[in-house]
Amino acid sequence: MLENQKIRPASVIGPLGEPLTLESLPPRGTKRWVIRRKAEVVAAIQGGLLTIEEACERYRLTLEEYVCWERAVDRSGMRGLRVTHLQYYRDLYERRRKY
C-alpha cells in the first residue's frame, strides 16, 4: 500500500541555498514574478515539493510558461529568468543551435 502513496520531502534546497517549504513558496495568485520567485517554483518542482500540475494551478501558470522558466534556469541559471535578458539568451542559443 505504501508504494501507491507519493512521499514528498518536507523541504528542498532553494536557488539561493536556503531550505524551501510549501509555506515559504511565493503566495498563491502571485502576479509580480521576480527572478527569485520563478527560481523558487522551479526548484520546488524539481525537488518534488510540488508537481507541475499543482504549481500551474496554484500560480495560474501555463505549462509553456513553466517550461520556459525551467529551460532558462537549466541553460543560464537564475540570470536567464530576467525579463530584460530573455531576448539576449534566446538569440544566443539560437545561434549556437545553428552551428
Report the alpha-carbon distance of residue 60 to residue 54 in Å, rounded.
10
Let me know if residue 2 belongs to a domain.
Answer: no
Residues of the domain holding 17: 9-25+32-98
Answer whether 38's CB lies under 8 Å from 81's CB.
yes
- In this prediction, residue 85 carries a pLDDT of 59
Of the candidates 75, 74, 12, 62, the residue with the CA atom closest to the CA atom of residue 40? 12
Single-letter amino acid code for the residue at 97: R
pTM: 0.78
Residue with cell 540570470: 79
Report the alpha-carbon distance of residue 72 to residue 23 in Å, rounded.
25
> Domain total for the chain?
1
CATH number of the CATH domain containing 37? 1.10.10.10
Burial class (CB in 10 A: 0-12, 13-18, 19+), 93: middle
69's grid cell = 522558466
Let me know if residue 4 belongs to a domain.
Answer: no
- In this prediction, residue 29 carries a pLDDT of 86
Let me know if residue 3 belongs to a domain.
Answer: no
- In this prediction, residue 76 carries a pLDDT of 87
Let me know if residue 84 belongs to a domain.
Answer: yes
